[in-house]
Structure 1
């Protein structure tokens, strides 16, 4: 049975379900690069648009990406080839939470409601198909890190599946309120620059990629249910959610 599970999970890394792949490809237009300037220079990661409208957009990303930021800009790739280009926007921090690595940004000049992604809280289990979407670093960039092409091309899609999930009940900021911190462990490839990007499941965004496991074999993601709880507590934001 274990060998069969490994075979299925390996297959999902190369041949994801067609409908899921199509969804992830559509969602790429809502995934942005987070460009951060701090005392050490410039760094970047990924994020995704959670809400949009006349007042601008709200973007979710990882707290560790913007932790020491002195300025934050959001870049969205709007196409490729001669008709393509990029759009850069200034962003400000609304809130951040170190554990479980969630930050919410406001982008006042990014006004496109159609780009908002839906958070989903499905019943996930072993071999649940999922695709990580984000701004992957090319391995041959300067210092083995990244080059200029990373921030002017459409986000990458890295398919795989959930191996297991771990949940723990903790107090929020030493207060009485309890938050269920749920971490998803996926066998998607772990590539620099993908942190902060959405993990896409059949119903929508089921989590956000945060880091790789200590052995480098698995991607760790914070679940959508945890994102929803934290944003409600830190920003008073009520997020519509898709459930099974």
Structure 2
């Protein structure tokens, strides 16, 4: 596990399953057969080394006669599935009244479809395992609730033109991703702009970043570079990012022009 908080949750869940199994007089092999998983999987779950799926917990609850006590842990386990930096970022997004993001290399995570996100994580080097890819994709998709919550935050994105053309996952994956961008752009509280590649003036050449204005009025910055994810709270650093973001939005195509541009790229893809 990437953090002790999640590891502690999984160890606690594993201990409970083991106690219920032993109380029922079952061996790991017998429980595995009953819930459709192998003995190795049951052993790994009980030791807190594997993240049990919701159906594993439901079937174990039924087989062991736990009366819903094992199934009740699904929420805690689901949250523990997500990497710590994602959980922390999701909490900030839930508290934000305004979010802004400039993205240069791929479609921003909050705008990604599941298949596009899977393709992005599959390209990671050193390579993720299938389980790690699934975990990261699930975490990314869970964050998309920010578009649906009430009160709705004001959300803006500036995407580099190249992100709309790079065929991550292949042509059809990109087409569905572009269609999704157009769908999201129809939400009244979401604005998507495109930064053309042939633009001479560009305030964002230092790299991508995010801004989050919280309910208490404080604004935070967020940088994610290579292996590092960092939240900026120093007002001086945040002011620099706010200034840059304002210039980037002014230099990019207008929202109306941007949507027409995305539609044009979709036709060409």
TM-score, normalised relative to structure 2: 0.23
Structure with bigger helix share is 2
Please tell me whether Structure 1 or Structure 2 has the larger radius of gyration of its CA atoms. Answer: 2
TM-score, normalised relative to structure 1: 0.25
**Larger RCO, structure (CA 8 Å, separation 6 or more):** 1
